[in-house]
Structure 1
Amino acid sequence: MSETLSFDVVIVGAGPAGLTAAIRLKQLCQKTGKDLKVCVLEKGAEVGAHILSGNVFEPRALEELFPDWKERGAPLSTPVTDDSFIFLTERNFFRLPTPPQMKNHGNYVISLANFCRWLAVQAEALGVEIYPGFAVAQCLFNDKNEVIGVETNPVGLDKEGHPTEQYEPGVQIMSRHTLFGEGCRGSLTKQLSEKFGLQRYAQPQTYALGIKELWEISPEKHKPGTVTHTIGWPLDQKTYGGSFIYHMENNQVSYGLVIGLDYKNPYLNPYEETQRLKLHPYLKTLFEGGRRISYGARALNEGGWQSIPQLGFPGGSLIGCSAGFLNVLKIKGTHTAMKSAMIAAETIFEALSTNTQPQPGLYDQRIRQSWIRDELYPVRNIRPGFKAGFWLGMVNAGLETYVFRGQAPWTFSHHEDNRTLSFAAESQKIDYPKPDGKITFDRLSSVYLSNTNHKENQPCHLKLRNPETPISYNLKYFDAPEQRYCPAGVYEIIKDNMTRTYRLQINGQNCVHCKTCDIKDPLQNISWVPPEGGDGPRYPNM
């Protein structure tokens, strides 16, 4: 028999949105004298273990949540002191004017993982119950198709899914309302979107893959608060993306490359692009003499305003990056994710206080009436403008920013990222330099720095709908792009020399939970689901 727990509100995901929602609910309880039992479930081994972001943080939503955040000791200790926007060619660089939305006066370079750990302390002080290591497997519904809770993964299954001596069934956690703050491409959010048709009135979501490294550099090169973004090389003119270099505290630098997952060349390898970018003269001197501390990767939503799905449904709501509130031009989404969570919390508190459910569409309406809309709507055409290529995308961005000021009488559409690959026979292979072990590194040594661990004797959490597709379709037409787009070396094509046949090997223990395979696989044949609770990366301060 499954164990059953009951709460008024269950929140899936202890990211900035999930924790903010929990805090706001408890603040409203304190203000009104009411009491709601609030629970946050986190699949990572601890809060922050699976959190990865740049991150230049805009404190707007935090000011609303905790006006006294400085006195509370929020880990925002490195204010931005300088902004640079750089265009790279293969050997040279040119400084460009920084778009007004990318100027960071008043913002902070932070570790989002550490910020979430601080939020968790604030939440628990208010009476929120937080359960790390609880990976949620499925939603629970009543006979009216309303969400009534969730069920966690069973533990102690072997690779074939059979119970071992350590078997324990999943825990059913019942709730009056469930908030889903799983982050980008959440497995439950996918289920809910399909069940309730949440995306039917919105544009398809489009994504990017962010690959990040944390470095400790020489003190004489370190300039706390310096924020640099680059565009151009090493990406071709048909591929959207750019890099970030953020100087944090303690001689640390946050470096990474973000690549739009609508890229066309199946031979493009996002991990290798991230490595060779460090060899550019503009960046190489920064890393020379330094040491790499950590590594990780994560997909992020880039669809913007027109891709936000229906947020509320019977018994539940989407918050944060489960829905996708990233401001692509600002390259920021934490503050908008937090604001969405506050609006959701306020909406459901009003309803639960009178023993009802939120009025259908009310949460969505309040999002449209908030400053989230004021921020995301004007930049809605920036990202899809790059479908026409880099230079036309830049021209469109300039027109949208300086001429139309976000009020153009049209809205561009998005396309599904898995449909954009060209056939391998029509594409050019890319020759990447071999790693030198000092500035550039191989994938497996990088995965080691992510502290990724999965119990070996458990069902693989990367599911194939059709086990024949990787060879009969992906290998045949695209030369198995999963070998290259995965930043952790999870997928390998193995050739049997005796039979001259091929098979796909899935090294699930390497997975850093970036969800790229779930997004980019051409036929959507790969489905990411959470492994046993606590498994995966264990990021220290990413």
Structure 2
Amino acid sequence: APLDVPVTEDKFLFLSETGAKAVPNWALPDNFKNHGNYVISLANVTRWLGQQAEALGVEIFPGFPAAEVLYNDDGSVKGVATGNMGIGKDGEPTENFQLGMELHAKYTLFCEGARGHLGRQLNEKLKLGKDADPQVYGIGIKELWEIDPAKHQPGLVIHTAGWPLESDTYGGSFLYHIDNNQVMVGFVVGLAYTNPYLSPFEEFQRYKTHPAIRKYLEGGKRVSYGARAMTAGGLMSLPKLVFPGGALVGDDAGFLNAARIKGSHAAIKTGMLAAEAAFDAVQAGRTSDELTAYPEAFKQSWL
């Protein structure tokens, strides 16, 4: 498996404009203690998992996004249709046009991440969120840097809170030293901020100028960058997870645990729980009903 770098040191810093106060290690909550864990590239792990799945006979269709939910006559979910390919900028078919495919299934698990477009349609149509609090969102911006080897400490994990965000806006940062003189640096801003002039991207740029962070990045170069929405409402914002013929998994349901900075773990675990429920249902000859065993198993699990 593509395990990268074992964690060697944890730091949690509260930043002011020029200073940084480190939380003593004995006072760190357990979720900030990462000894025995690895700093990994999620892209590499996902590629590796894809190979394991294909070796077991799972078919994977990368590059074919699911565009719409298909329903049976009784209202249960029948599957999904992929989008049409080869559409020009003007919305008209080009010579490469290819009609989308319908994929029918006994059960369809929706695992699109935060604000997944099909998950949101299901939520509205089936009123899955009617007994839950509204979902709360954040944005995470991440960059991969190649830094000066003299400044690189493989396995160093730093989290920060405080500056440049005001005390009424939740957020924070992470800076992980991985292998090959690279660091992953990211910044999260809660999207409930009230200052209309706040720009999460600009706050991230300011953060990188802080002396405690700048010292690692100076003289380095940015290799790549990206951003994504995050669900941060927690347990109170979870919708109903199952409906006839399908289920919501991971961030499509909102399983990220913001307090513990754990999203991938929750996505993997809910995927496993939903898969086990679907497997048992198919073994028992069931089809297109509600996988009630999945939310029950979630309630019994460590998650």
- TM class by shorter chain equals over 0.9
Structure 1 residues 381-400: aligned runs within 5 Å: none
Structure 1 segment 58-457 matched on structure 2, within 5 A:
74-96=1-23, 97-357=27-287, 359=290, 361-372=292-303
- Which one has the largest radius of gyration? 1
With structure 1 as the length reference, what TM-score do the two structures score?
A: 0.54
AA aligned to 1:363 is: Y
How far apart are the structure 2 equivalents of 1:167 and 1:175? 25
Q: How far 1:198 sits from its partner (Å)?
A: 1.0
Tell whether the 8 Å contact from 1:214 to 1:295 is kept in structure 2 after alignment.
yes
Q: Residues 293-351 of structure 1: CA distance to partner in whole angstroms, max 9, x if unpaired?
A: 11110111111111111111111111111112212122112122111111111111111
Paired letter, 1:279: T
Q: Using the alignment, how far apart are the partners of 2:43 and 2:285 within structure 1?
A: 35
Q: Deviations over 1:427-462 (max 9, x none)?
A: xxxxxxxxxxxxxxxxxxxxxxxxxxxxxxxxxxxx
What SS does structure 1 have at the residue aligned with 2:183? Answer: strand
Residue 177 of structure 1 and its aligned partner are, at CA, apart by 0.9
- Superposed CA offset, 1:406-430 (max 9, x none): xxxxxxxxxxxxxxxxxxxxxxxxx
Moved over 3 A (4+): 357-360
Alignment partner of 1:266: what SS?
A: coil
One-letter amino acid of the structure 1 residue matched with residue 11 of structure 2: S
What is the rounded CA distance, in whole Å, between the counterparts of 2:114 and 2:92 in structure 1?
A: 30
Distance 2:218 2:301 in 1: 46
2:111–2:252 contact (8 Å) kept in structure 1: yes
Q: CA deviation at 1:359?
A: 4.8
Question: Which is worse superposed, 184-193 or 318-327?
Answer: 318-327
Aligned equivalents of 1:329, 1:291: Cα separation in 2: 31
Whole-Å separation in 2 of the counterparts to 1:339 and 1:117 = 18
**Counterparts of 2:265 and 2:99, CA distance in 1:** 37
Cα RMSD after superposing both structures: 1.3
d(CA) in 2 for partners of 1:351, 1:212: 39
Q: How far apart are 1:116 and its partner, in Å?
A: 0.3
Q: Is the 8 A contact 2:165 2:171 kept in 1?
A: yes
Give the Å deviation of 1:156: 2.5
CA distance in 2, matches of 1:252, 1:217: 6
What displacement does 1:191 show?
Answer: 0.5
SS at match of 1:130: coil
CA deviation after TM superposition for structure 1 residue 136, in Å: 1.2
Q: Contact 1:102 / 1:329 at 8 angstroms: preserved in 2? A: no
Deviation at 1:360, TM superposition (A): 5.3
Unmatched 5+ stretches in structure 1: 1-73, 373-542
The amino acid that maps onto 1:368 is K
Structure 2 gaps, min length 5: none
Alpha-carbon separation, structure 1, partners of 2:235 and 2:45? 26
Whether the aligned pair in 2 keeps the contact of 1:213 and 1:296 (CA below 8 Å) is: yes
Instruction: Give me the whole-angstrom Cα distance separating, in 1, the residues matched to 2:151 and 2:160.
Output: 18
Alignment of 1:484-503 (within 5 A): none
Distance, in Å, in 1 between the alignment partners of 2:89 and 2:149 is 48
Q: Whole-Å Cα distance in 1 between the matches of residues 284 and 228 of structure 2? A: 40
Contact 1:208 1:300 in 2 (8 A): yes
Q: What letter corresponds to residue 233 of structure 2 in structure 1?
A: G
Once the two structures are superposed, what CA deviation does each residue of 1:250-308 show, in whole Å capped at 9, x if it has no partner? Answer: 11100011000111111111111111111111111111111111111011111111111
Q: Contact 2:278/2:291 (CA < 8 Å) preserved in 1?
A: no
Rounded Cα–Cα distance in structure 1 between residues aligned with 2:272 and 2:214: 42
For the 8 Å contact 1:76–1:110, the answer to whether it is kept is yes
TM-score by length of 2: 0.95
Paired with 1:159 and 1:220, the residues of 2 have a C-alpha distance of 48
C-alpha distance in 2 between matches for 1:134 and 1:218: 39
Distance 2:238 2:44 in 1: 28
Report the secondary structure of 2:61's partner residue.
strand
- Conserved 8 A contact 2:249-2:271: yes
- 1:160 deviates by 4.1
User: How many corresponding residue pairs?
Assistant: 299
User: Is the 2:15–2:163 contact (alpha carbons within 8 Å) kept by the matching residues of 1?
Assistant: yes
